[in-house]
Structure 1
Amino acid sequence: MAETEDAGGAGSAGGVREVKSAARTVDLLELLAARGDRPARLQELADELRVPRSSMYALLQTLIGRGWVRTDTTGSLYGIGIHALLTGTSYLDSDPRVRAVRPYLDEASEALGETIHLARLDGMDVAYLATRESHEYLRTISRVGRRLPAHAGALGKALLAEHPDTELPEGPYEALTPHTHTTRDSLAADLAGVRARGYAVDREEGVPGIIGFGFALRSDTSPAQDAISCSVPSARLTPEHERRIVAVMREIRAKIEATSPGGAGAPIWS
């Protein structure tokens, strides 16, 4: 039958067999997205995904025609296409939690004058869904749509602390700075502190010179999937400012958790 001709590989959720061509397409798009501003050559992609060169070329040409992949004027370099951006924007626009949280991100930004983030846990990474940049310091690129290791920042640690430590990978973990936790025991000890105080602190673990405070949002799902954070340059963080950040972010979290993300009949996404 047509529905099963291209099926193969490991099973997936609900016992439905994975469709090989669909899985290959997603793997390719994720690989190109992860490379960022480093375009790839045909052979690189074929080797990385263990796909015959001819099959990879045909897949690339199909995706170029549909706007999911782009190529340079020589046709030898490949990168993620504009339809990935359009689809990502649609995800943000359709998500009830993102819509509900945006006004509170504005409120926190105005109150503190610092950078405020909303992110979602995805495996052992966090994906940034919304950002309000500080007027005091500027970043070179927007964080929206980026993924960072959950073990290396306040957002990720706030969400990992909602899970039992038995779910943590064995490690070692990637070190983004000299302060990053690289072992399971070290991270687990930090997460115990997160649970005790009710929020996570990242002291230059993800970005040199930046300290973050992360707060899991527990109103809809258990364990929590989303978190908000405030990031501040370490050079400007005084004990008084830290206390104010924690107080304001706790208040913002309470307001968000008291707000329903959708009306009656709205889907609850898993």
Structure 2
Amino acid sequence: MEGSPSAVKAPLSETAKEMVKNALLRKSGGEDILEEYKSENSLKHRTRSHLVNILASDMTERHGRIPTHKQREKYVLGIIKRFPALKDPFSPKGYVNQDFNLLFGAETSSKLLNKWDTTFKLKIIKEATQLTQSTDPCRLLKAAERQPESNGMLSYSKRTKISPTDAAERMVLFHKSCSSIDERLKEREGKQPFILAVGRTCNKIDTYYVAVDKQLIPCHATSSLSAFDELFKCHYVFNLSYDESLVHLYMFVQTTVFNIDVTSTEESLCVRELRAKILNDNV
């Protein structure tokens, strides 16, 4: 009915937009952020970091130390609406890590990079050596054991069915730097994100991208682990589903490494069993 509260209620996007503006006006330096965007139609990297810090502080003050997922999403929506030039996920101005930080906090965001070498890597390799050793797992395991700390990529051969190698190729695609990236992207079907590693050879990677729907997001990554970190985070920042063939891998990373929605996510038995083995293994 006209004049009823539901008829005049502002859309969520507008309330989120005003929420972000008001939060900035309440905090020191927030008005400078609004003025910089108004004059430049963009924000410097340092300014964007300050923006995220201000809004994360405001969100904690208003909703407590652990805001709900919907509350976090409202802040992200408010940023997109208040600063529309920053919303393009396929622009070099995209900052996947900062958006993920706003959703889950800096401590959660840093878990993969901080804990992989010290907590997970050796235990997962140990677990893999106890599996039935077909050709594909052997090749991947040997590559993982000798993979260098920086710009090393694995070389995979194509198969006609989903195997460990095919699953890896759905996650990482190598592109030789002297050939056309556009043509390479056209060869890839599906909309799920993947890593495009560009270099002279598979073992000499110069640049990493996360490819989403045939568009490229430049990674800040300097290693394959960092690139995977950004690949995983893109699913949350852009609200994307996991690739069906990689869902167990991503579920493991989500719940066991990042500890996101552990109690509310429907995991497979194999993921729960692997988590128990990894976290209870003192090696």
| Same topology, TM > 0.5 | no
TM-score (normalizing by structure 1):
0.26
Q: Which has the higher strand share?
A: 1
